[in-house]
């Protein structure tokens, strides 16, 4: 039984390129982002990976990444479930602002706290802790049962929503998870044991 779970952060978005806080805003992928998503699919295909179901957020950059990965694997019509639970962390009033402009307005230290603390919310937005509280119940109720039945599952989502899953899978703490970065377009391939813990993990870097 495979119990295969693949996590993939979306390819570079237009706002990643422009150094803007994105959150629930909905910019598309850059040309590089499209290439990153396609390359992720090619690396998974080279491993011989096929999926039974895919999950993604309601934001276009994650959906497009999911579509491109599946296209490269040769599964363009795979069942794909979209849910707001997998959306990026909501940056609230910071959304759409250039990160350097935000530092100029609120100060380097305050912006660093908003970005890298576990439980401090930016104005009008979510902390990483809030994002974890949104993502994990969805994972436990919807995604994990399918993996444990032996289905092969792709989750194409966002840096912070995926960090919530990596926190559980890799046994990270509120102190260590804020400093962990997920690269765009680099799949994380997990195989799970019968007790839902990780048997094996591969990072499919370029």
* Residues labelled as active-site residues: 10, 88
CA 183 and chain centroid, separation: 10
φ/ψ region of 65 (left if φ > 0, alpha if ψ in -120 to 50, else beta) reads alpha
Tell me the C-alpha to C-alpha distance, in Å, between residue 86 and each of 90, 135, 165, 204: 11, 6, 10, 22
How do the residues of the chain divide into helix, strand and coil, expressed in percent and rounded to 5?
45, 15, 40
CA-to-CA distance for 156 and 65, rounded, in angstroms?
Answer: 7
């Amino acid at each position: 039984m495979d119990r295969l779970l693949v996590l993939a952060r979306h390819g570079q978005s237009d706002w990643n390129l422009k150094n803007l806080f994105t959150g629930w805003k909905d910019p598309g992928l850059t040309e590089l982002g499209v290439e990153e998503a396609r390359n992720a699919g090619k690396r998974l295909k080279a491993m011989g990976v096929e999926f039974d179901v895919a999950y993604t957020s309601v934001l276009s950059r994650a959906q497009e990444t999911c579509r491109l990965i599946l296209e490269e694997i040769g599964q363009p019509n795979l069942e794909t479930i979209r849910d707001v639970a997998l959306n990026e962390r909501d940056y609230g009033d910071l959304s759409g602002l250039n990160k350097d402009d935000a530092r100029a307005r609120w100060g380097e230290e305050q912006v660093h706290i908003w970005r890298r603390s576990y439980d401090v919310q930016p104005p009008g937005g979510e902390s990483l802790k809030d994002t974890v509280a949104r993502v994990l119940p969805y994972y436990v109720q919807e995604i994990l049962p399918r993996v444990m039945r032996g289905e092969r599952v792709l989750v194409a989502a966002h840096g912070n929503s995926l960090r919530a899953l990596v926190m559980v899978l890799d046994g990270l703490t509120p102190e260590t998870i804020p400093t962990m970065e997920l690269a765009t377009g680099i799949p994380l391939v997990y195989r799970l044991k019968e007790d839902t813990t990780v048997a094996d993990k591969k990072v499919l870097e370029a």
